[in-house]
Amino acid sequence: MRKAVFPGSFDPITNGHEDIIRRALPLFDEIIIAIGINAEKKYMFPLEKRKEFMEETFKDEPKIKVATYKGLTIDFCKQNNAQFILRGLRNPADFEFEKAIAHTNRVLSKIETVFLLTAASTSYISSSIVRDVLRNNGDYKVLVPKAVRKEL
């Protein structure tokens, strides 16, 4: 069974995240969306709300599971028998950052990282941009999935 973990804080999920996950479905038998918990980080949305957004967005996808975790992503992968980490790349800066993490993960665990390029139509979207738009009462609706739109 080819199982991948798609880790992130997803504060909130964006159309870019959704696109990467849906395009990865044919590649894996199961994808675990792993929402990381970082006590050092200040989130706009509480963990349970971020999990609800994910579950609602992918409620009709039986190959997708949603979980939360603390600690190293590779430890979460091992606990869930996942052989792959799925990551999306928007730009060259993302690649350089993700490449270093992928090399480290492979050395520490032999877990491979699979990169998908974001679609051109979503490559400019990030959770931090969405949060900024929300804080300033901008029109965020074109940036996030329906589950987030209907909640806000």
Question: Is-catalytic flag, 109?
Answer: no
**To 5 degrees, how large is the angle CA 116–CA 9–CA 16?**
35
121 is an annotated ligand-binding site residue: no
**Tokens 């029109």 map to which residue?**
139
Catalytic residue from among 90, 99, 106, 131: 90
Q: Which H or E run includes 14?
A: none
**Tokens 């038998």 map to which residue?**
29
- Contact at 8 Å (CB) between 25 and 61? yes
Question: Is-catalytic flag, 141?
Answer: no
14 is an annotated ligand-binding site residue: no
Question: Is-catalytic flag, 135?
Answer: no
- Contact at 8 Å (CB) between 105 and 85? yes
128 is an annotated ligand-binding site residue: yes
- Which residues are designated catalytic? 17, 41, 90, 127
Residue numbers belonging to the annotated binding site for ATP? 9-10, 17, 88-90, 98, 122-128
Known binding residues for substrate: 9, 41, 73, 87
Binding residues: 9-10, 17, 41, 73, 87-90, 98, 122-128
